[in-house]
């Protein structure tokens, strides 16, 4: 573990005013989005769409790293340029999603455990040779009557620790992503309680496993009311509850914190991020790691007319710019 490499990579990923673009949708998720828009669900169509994302001119002004799926890091443009070489030429860090989805955990309906530790060290060896400098592992938590259970939170925290340590042994920065799902009718106060408890379980387990905290990035959901809640959260309220939670429950020396957009509307995710930066004194760099909230306009445009790649890329870069502005509190 080279802590200098880990710190440098983490610093690059959260350098202001940039954020991370997640293009790590699994084949199943990508195909599902294509189906809804009438796009053929073939490997070639997925490659074509990702070429649009990777080759967008000027996106490097706003994006520090791309999180990719296994299929994506092996793909090339139609004229044979590797996606990874294009990202390197733009000085964009290459990330890789290494978890392998979730399965039911225990007897509580809604509790999930993340899979993917088997063979992870060998996969990290390969990804490092391909050019990856950071990785991502996601766990999901449903807020319900009996969920998430403490056993489930502990089990996922143990997996985070094993994953993060393996990454750091390969000089790859681990993104730890505990996503509290926005589905449900929970209040913002209930979301706060679950988020705080989960963070209080995760960080002691990471530290006791020997994970180097300044060499990791936390990718977290915002503290926000559930989508079906009668009281929807305004940006100032989301910012207040989220910052209070993070300041109280995340170590001040962490490499950085990035938000997922997770079920929020595109504009909502941008406004909520912007509101966070009205508070000028934050102990850690705080930015975005959005997927859909940046990709949506481009994907919709491309689905309607796949020959007009320039128009779709323009929308992609504009969305990245809006969130870059929000990451410093300057979005209007």
Q: State yes or no: is 177 an active-site residue.
A: yes
Pairing of β 256-259 and β 217-220: parallel
**Which of the following is catalytic: 48, 177, 240, 268?**
177
CB-based contact 259:284 (threshold 8 Å): no
Q: What is the spatial distance between Cα 220 and Cα 168, in angstroms, rounded to a whole number? A: 20
Tokens linked to 276: 């966070």
CB-based contact 92:136 (threshold 8 Å): no
Nearest CA to 91 out of 18, 22, 24, 23 is that of 18
State whether residue 216 is helix, strand or coil. coil
Distances (CA, A) of 191 to 70, 133, 148, 214: 32, 32, 11, 26
Maximum distance among all Cα pairs of the chain, rounded to whole angstroms: 53
Q: What is the spatial distance between Cα 205 and Cα 251, in angstroms, rounded to a whole number? A: 13
Instruction: Look at the alpha carbons of 22, 28, 34, 39 in this order and tell me if their dihedral is positive or negative.
Output: positive
**Which of the following is catalytic: 25, 219, 240, 321?**
219
Q: What is the dihedral of CA 327, 207, 156, 31, to 10 degrees?
A: 40
Instruction: Look at the alpha carbons of 47, 53, 54, 55 in this order and tell me if their dihedral is positive or negative.
Output: positive
Contacts with 10 (C-beta within 8 Å, 6 or more apart), sequence order: 173, 214, 215, 216, 217, 255, 256
Positions annotated as catalytic residues are: 177, 219
């Amino acid at each position: 573990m080279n802590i200098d490499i880990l710190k440098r990579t983490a610093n690059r990923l959260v350098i202001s005013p940039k954020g991370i673009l997640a293009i790590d949708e699994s084949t199943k998720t990508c195909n599902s989005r294509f189906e809804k828009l009438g796009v053929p669900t073939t490997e070639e169509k997925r490659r074509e769409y990702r070429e649009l994302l990777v080759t967008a001119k000027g996106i490097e002004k706003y994006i520090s790293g791309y999180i990719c799926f296994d299929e994506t890091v092996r793909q090339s443009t139609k004229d044979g340029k590797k996606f990874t070489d294009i990202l390197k030429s733009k000085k964009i860090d290459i990330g890789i999603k290494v978890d392998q989805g979730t399965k039911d955990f225990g007897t509580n309906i809604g509790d999930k455990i993340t899979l993917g530790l088997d063979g992870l060290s060998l996969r990290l060896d390969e990804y490092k040779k391909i050019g990856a400098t950071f990785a991502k592992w996601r766990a999901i938590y449903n807020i319900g009557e009996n969920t998430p259970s403490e056993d489930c939170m502990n089990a996922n925290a143990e997996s985070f620790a094993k994953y993060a340590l393996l990454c750091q042994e390969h000089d790859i920065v681990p993104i730890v992503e505990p996503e509290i799902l926005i589905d449900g009718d929970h209040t913002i106060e209930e979301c706060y309680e679950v988020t705080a408890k989960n963070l209080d379980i995760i960080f002691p387990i990471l530290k006791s496993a020997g994970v180097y905290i300044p060499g990791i990035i936390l990718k977290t959901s915002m503290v926000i009311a559930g989508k079906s809640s009668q009281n929807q959260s305004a940006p100032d309220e989301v910012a207040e509850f989220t910052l209070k939670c993070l300041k109280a429950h995340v170590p001040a020396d962490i490499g950085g914190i990035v938000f997922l957009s997770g079920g929020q509307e595109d504009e909502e995710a941008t406004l909520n991020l912007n509101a966070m930066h009205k508070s000028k004194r934050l102990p850690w760099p705080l930015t975005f790691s959005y997927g859909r909230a940046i990709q949506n306009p481009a994907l919709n445009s491309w689905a309607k007319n796949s020959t007009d790649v320039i128009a779709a890329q323009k929308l992609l870069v504009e969305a990245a710019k809006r969130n870059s502005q929000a990451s410093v509190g300057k979005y209007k």
